[in-house]
Structure 1
Amino acid sequence: MFHIAICDDSEYDLQEISSALQGLRHLGICFDETWYQSGRALIDDIAEGEKSYHLLILDMLMDSINGIETAKAIRTYDVSMPILIVTSTVQYALAGYQVNAWRYLTKPVDPGELVREAAAVLKSQEKSDETCYVVQSNGTVIRRVPLADILYFESSLHTITLHTMREDIEFRGAIRDIDEQLTPLGFFRIHKSFVVNLSHVRRLSSRSLVMVNGDELDISRARIQQLRHALMDEAEREHISSHRMRS
């Protein structure tokens, strides 16, 4: 299920865009949509970490805070969310590229063109999700974190903390589900409380390991031998990958 946000201070335009998007269903694309009639409401949802979208369709000309100001604020919280700008005048189109917009469409929006662009965005997002860990809260996607950025997951009761070099993200979940999902992707459960990214392990001892950020984590005695084999396999994969890139 894809999540699409539409932000436009005109209810008529919201309805028109929403109606046009129904063409996605004929392509077999399942989605839901959330309407915003002000950029501020959208920014607040993104800033609070309560919402994340596979696609944002954003009006350029809005009262109080315009589309570019809205997009710039959103980019401080989410640098990768695809933004499709709709505008009534082409003179503002170039400004959209300042915020890494997917592209712009002029109003009145052509339904066929909107569906083609939206479908292309969602297809690219589907591929992106394969290399990201999708953090959810109550069934709502709140963040997508590239697997390469993740150091390790830590479990405490029913709370999971996802650790990266830059930040920690907390959410409700079960460590066993993370283990099952990510072990085939270069992660390993070293302890009942930890699942680590093998590519970010700096040093291994008999009872603990040290991550590249200096965090020292306990290792379950029953898992130490499997962990050594997993680290060797990961090192071999990285060597092969590096060799292919040089070739």
Structure 2
Amino acid sequence: MIRCLVVDDEPLAQNLLKNYIGKIGSLELAGATSDVFAALDMAQQQKVDLIFLDVQMPELTGIQFMKILAGKCKVILTTAYEEYALQAFDLDVVDYLLKPFSFERFAAAVQKARERLQPLQRENNTAEHLFIKTEYKIVRVAVKDIRYMESMRDYVSVYTENERILTLQSLRTFEEQLRTSSLIRVHKSYIVNLDRIDKVERRRIVIGDKYIPIGETYQDEVKKRLQQGNGSL
């Protein structure tokens, strides 16, 4: 979880950022303020990981703020002015968001921050978590909670114990992320969680009341993975 702080003297800008942060499951809002000195104090005490910082602030500019901060936490600058970009990147800013910016642009900046804050996160997420992009938000889902995924024409359904999540991401995208996890591609239209399999019969996997076919091209790999877990096929 990435703890975020919004520092902006415009209430509308604060509200937009709080709304965007709320849509990404890996972000936690630690606060929103126009008080740059309170924000510096939080950052220096390492109470936050990432600051969304306006450049034009009444008491300190975002550039001055970053110089005082001296790399204590990561910063994404949010501003309507382009002219500070060169200085900002010299100070190792994660990203530079020009107002007004879309949620998609915001999410891309967050991804950069995630990579900077947790260099091994992609590798860890392969085994433990997925970030699934839905129509309105990005959802963090634990791999252990996923029962199976099903490709249905233009979208993929991700079935967990309690819900069905729809995404336009492809099964191939998930397959590439999950090579070291308990999830495995068993058919051109299915990925299943090996830990959720109830039984295997007649080239079909049974998870609860769902019967999932095993594609011919996937049989050897499925057999290998099941044997590693003392199963049989």
Q: Structure 2 length as normaliser, TM-score?
A: 0.55
Residue from 132, 136, 147 that aligns with 2:133: 136
TM-score, with structure 1 as normaliser: 0.52
Q: 1:214 aligns with which of 209, 222, 233?
A: 209
Q: Which residue is 1:54 aligned to?
A: 27
* Partners of 1:208 and 1:218 within 8 A in 2: yes
Root-mean-square deviation over aligned CA pairs: 4.0
The 1:142–1:235 alpha-carbon spacing in structure 2 relative to 1, beyond 3 Å, is farther
CA 1:163/1:233 → structure 2, altered by over 3 Å: closer, same or farther? same
| 1:224 aligned partner | 219
Give the number of the structure whose residues are more often helix, by fraction.
1
1:118 maps to 2:48: yes
Please say if residues 129 and 144 of structure 1, whose CA atoms lie closer than 8 Å, have aligned partners that are also in contact: no
Matching residue's letter, 2:194: L
String of CA shifts for 1:74-123, please: whole Å, max 9, x gaps.
xxxxxxxxxxxx8x9xxxxxxxxxxxxxxxxxx96150432522128975
1:163 to 159, 163, 166: 159
Deviations 1:189-220 (A, max 9, x none): 11100011111111001221111x33211111
Task: Output the CA distance in 2 between the equivalents of 1:161 and 1:111.
Answer: 43
Rounded Cα–Cα distance in structure 2 between residues aligned with 1:189 and 1:164 = 16
1:203 to 196, 199, 207: 199
Sequence identity (%):
17
Instruction: Specify every segment of 5 or more residues in structure 2 that has no aligned partner in the other structure, as ranges.
Output: 50-72, 75-113
- 2:38 corresponds, among 78, 99, 109, to 109
Distance 1:223 1:114 in 2: 50
- For the residues of structure 2 that align with 1:144 and 1:183, how far apart are their CA atoms? 18
* Offset, 1:13: 8.2
Tell me: CA distance 1:185–1:235, structure 2 relative to 1, closer, same or farther (3 Å).
farther
1:4-54 residue CA offsets vs partner (Å, 9 max, x unmatched): 474x9xx63879xxxxxxxxxxxxxxxxxx73179xx84x995xxx55452
Q: 1:232 aligns to what SS in structure 2? A: helix
Q: Quick check: 1:36 aligned with 2:32?
A: no
CA distance 1:37–1:228, change in 2 (3 Å): closer
Alignment of 1:167-206 (within 5 A): 167-206=163-202
Structure 1 residue identity aligned to 2:160: T
